[in-house]
């Protein structure tokens, strides 16, 4: 095993969730200057914005996404694309008829 590969400064550290104030005491090597006193013992403090105690996935408070609005937008884009495709096909047909009429007129005049 290689020597000095892993950090040697594991120590108890408190992680505090800023959303709900929950604290977790665990071992870590994270560097911090803040401290907190718990049960008369002073620990380094790391403040986090979100943890398992406040994240919607873990708390079960999932937010309902407006899926219907997204589906409606998709259907509207698909319908607009289909309409544009039909318009292009009609324009191409009209152009072909004009070209055929011009060719027939030119053939009649000769």
Q: What is the pLDDT along the chain (110 residues), one digit of tens a residue?
A: 688 888 888 899 999 988 888 899 999 999 899 999 999 999 999 998 888 777 766 566 666 556 667 778 888 999 999 999 999 999 999 999 999 888 888 888 76
pLDDT for position 59: 61
CA 83 – CA 72 distance, rounded (Å):
16
Alpha-helical regions (H) of 1-109? 56-59, 67-109
CA angle 38, 25, 46 (to 5 degrees): 90
Give the DSSP letter of residue 64.
P
pLDDT for position 62: 62
How far is CA 94 from its chain centroid?
A: 45
- Quote the longest CA-to-CA distance of the chain: 110
CA angle 57, 50, 39 (to 5 degrees): 115
Give the DSSP letter of residue 63.
P
Residues in the chain: 110
The token pair that represents 9 in the structure block: 């400064």
């Amino acid at each position: 095993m290689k020597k000095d590969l892993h950090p040697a400064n594991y120590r108890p550290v408190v992680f505090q969730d800023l959303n709900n104030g929950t604290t977790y005491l665990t071992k870590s090597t994270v560097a911090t200057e803040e401290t907190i006193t718990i049960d008369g013992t002073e620990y380094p403090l790391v403040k986090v914005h979100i943890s398992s105690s406040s994240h919607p996935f873990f708390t079960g408070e999932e937010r309902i996404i407006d899926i219907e609005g997204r589906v409606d937008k998709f259907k509207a884009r698909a319908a607009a694309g289909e309409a544009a495709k039909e318009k292009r096909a009609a324009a191409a047909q009209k152009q072909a008829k004009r070209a055929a009429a011009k060719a027939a007129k030119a053939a009649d005049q000769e």
